[in-house]
Amino acid sequence: MASHGGGHALTGKERTSAKLKLAAGAVGIVFGDIGTSPLYAFRETFVGPHPLALDKLHILGVVSLIFWSMTLVVSIQYVTILMRADNKGQGGSLALVALISRHMGKSRFGWLTVLLGVMATSLFYGDSMITPAISVLSAVEGLTVVEARFEQWVIPIALVMLVGLFLLQKRGTAKVGALFAPIMITYFCVLAVLGVTHIVQNPGVLVALNPWYAVQFFMVDKTLAFLALGSVVLAVTGAEALYADMGHFGRGPLRISWFAFVMPALLLNYFGQAAMVTSLSGPDAAEAIRNPFFMMAPEVMRFPLVILAMLATFIASQAVISGAFSITHQAMQLGFIPRLSILHTSETEAGQIYIPAINWALMVAVILLVLTFRNSSNLASAYGIAVTGAMLIDTCLLAALFLAVWRWKWWMAVPVVVLFFIVDGAYFAANATKVPDGGWFPLLIGAVAFTLLTTWAKGRKLMHERMAEVALPIEIFAKSATNSATRVAGTAIFMASSTAGVPSALLHNIKHNKVLHERVVVLTVKIADYPYVDPAKRHEIHDLGRGFYRLILHYGFMEETDVPKALADIDHCGGMFDMMQTSFFLSRQTLLPSENPGMMIWREKVFAWMLRNAANAMEFFRLPTNRVVELGSQLEI
């Protein structure tokens, strides 16, 4: 994470050095997903559900498609264009939606943008289940290249690695993270060296840099070329991760590591695989294409290569799981997911978090995937649809970005958007053919996640509307309550979801206990649609008189909502806050069946279940456990 501030202005040399360090760190964390694609992407185009003949036309056509896909989708769409669309430094679908929504305001298309962001987030959960399974399985399958008798051990070894990975999460990545960059840099160097050794022996393969070979593949073999796109796209999986992780490293270092190191290493490896297979014929070529990545290495080096690949896939899986935690935290703050218990695994890095519920759900799903699909080829059928779906949604958001945020002229925006729609749409359509073979899995996960996210957002909106209908203005309440209740020493803080009206906990407290504290603070936490809030603008105080205050705390959607920490910095809300003299009052709503429900009964039941299982506000706002009082109330939506 880039630090801000410092004792002196950095010189040009120091700035370059800092940027290069961040670029090296990014190789270890951000590029794992796309970096492990050579293990299976080239192979799958030939041995997947729609096998291709191992001739020059198909081999050069495929490697040309991989090169141009990487150039158009990763280099141009994500690294060059989308990385310019940062929301105060943060990237990813939800950050992009928040940025576009802020510029579109209450326009009639605003809801569509939000819906697209929620759909992309939903598909990401399917992707974050399949990535660890396919990456680790494809690396462990390399053992069968070393020794065929390892076949029966592939699934047990992969499961042990994956379970170990999920068990490690609660310890945090800070300690292990230091090892990630050297391992991944070594891995990418090995990719490049393996590729170069075969390209030198068969340099003719480099003609595939010419897009004519991809076009020729389509002209000669239209249907198979279209279906091959479903496997070619596996070479660009992880592009979304580059954009989502932009906030950790900054766009400059990510661009340096991509263009100067990662992309050349990947392309050299893909061209090397093509060069090796082209130089073989008959049974030798058929044997090599079963696992071309490992067959590139001399026999004596294959076992060390398998170990290195296993480490690389472990790191790639780690990055995806961390991404799932990060995107869940964003969705929680933006009101699409109920509060979940969050543990911070680093004292210095705010972004390093662990969400137990997400961790265990992912672990169960990954284990089931490995046991159900049993090898990486079967899993490849399930993989592409989530990735291409998210890419297509990002292209839709790109159109909104060009017109609503950057204010491009339509004649500039339309050709760019149409180009990406054709490319991403073709990938998605090719992967749609794999739905019966496993593509149904990420779509099912996406549909479940989408239903939960939208049900929670709609339910919360209805709850706030019902509570606002019966809310009593706090100024009127302050006058009447002061005369009818006994004042007692200390401070009472009543948490409220809305900045208007009296919280139900305050009404219930006076109704049952008939007392008011000397200082009564109605506290609302508001999450902004940008990642970080200036600490100077953290709080907003309204003195309502008679010892009543309304306090609003502002946080960005990437920040931790630590209420006691924020209160410690406030001294002009009737004095400093002494935690030993302060009580926090929380409302806990119980939903009742309504005669006129605001949404379908089954969704209302789902919302009620989510509400019951949400982490309580005490954990989420980091409130001291011995200073919290919960008061229940009933509500119809």
pLDDT in tens, 622-632: 899 888 998 87
Identity at 171, one-letter amino acid code: R
CA 144 to chain centre: 33
| Nearest one of 374, 343, 362, 15 to 172, comparing CA atoms | 343
Q: Which helix (H) or strand (E) holds 527?
A: strand 515-527
280 in Cβ contact with 288 (< 8 Å) = yes
Phi/psi of residue 62, nearest 5 degrees: -65, -50
Taking 60 as the threshold, does the pLDDT of residue 1 lie above it?
A: no
Question: What percent of the chain shows pLDDT beyond 70?
Answer: 95
Taking 70 as the threshold, does the pLDDT of residue 267 lie above it?
A: yes
Tens of pLDDT, residue by residue over 273-319, are 999 999 998 899 999 999 999 999 999 999 999 999 999 999 999 88
Q: Which residues contact 626 (CB under 8 A, 6 or more apart)?
A: none
- State the burial class of residue 593 (Cβ atoms within 10 Å of its Cβ: 0-12, 13-18, 19+): exposed
10 — pLDDT class (breaks 50, 70, 90)? low
Q: Which residues contact 35 (CB under 8 A, 6 or more apart)?
A: 184, 187, 188, 191, 238, 262, 266, 312, 316
Average the pLDDT over 35-51 and give the result.
92
Taking 70 as the threshold, does the pLDDT of residue 106 lie above it?
A: no
Identity at 540, one-letter amino acid code: E
Q: Which residues contact 424 (CB under 8 A, 6 or more apart)?
A: 73, 388, 391, 392, 394, 395
| Nearest one of 485, 496, 482 to 526, comparing CA atoms | 496
What does the H/E/C string look like for 184-202? HHHHHHHHHHHHHHHHHHC
Q: What is the pLDDT of residue 6?
A: 41
Q: What is the pLDDT of residue 544?
A: 86
Residue 300 DSSP symbol: G
Residue 563 DSSP SS3: helix
| Nearest one of 267, 255, 254, 256 to 191, comparing CA atoms | 267
Q: What is the pLDDT of residue 610?
A: 92
Q: Which residues contact 598 (CB under 8 A, 6 or more apart)?
A: 458, 462, 465, 604, 637
Strands 548-555 and 486-495: unpaired
Domain spans of the chain, in order of start: 22-457, 472-636
Strands 515-527 and 539-545: unpaired
Tell me the H-state helices in 352-409: 356-373, 376-400
Average the pLDDT over 530-535 and give the result.
85
> Can you state the angle between helices 376-400 and 410-432, rounded to 10 degrees?
160
Specify whether domain 22-457 bears CATH 1.20.1740.10: yes
Q: Which residues contact 563 (CB under 8 A, 6 or more apart)?
A: 523, 525, 553, 621, 622, 623
Tens of pLDDT, residue by residue over 229-245, are 999 999 998 888 788 88
Taking 60 as the threshold, does the pLDDT of residue 110 lie above it?
A: yes
552 in Cβ contact with 499 (< 8 Å) = yes
Residue 290 DSSP SS3: coil
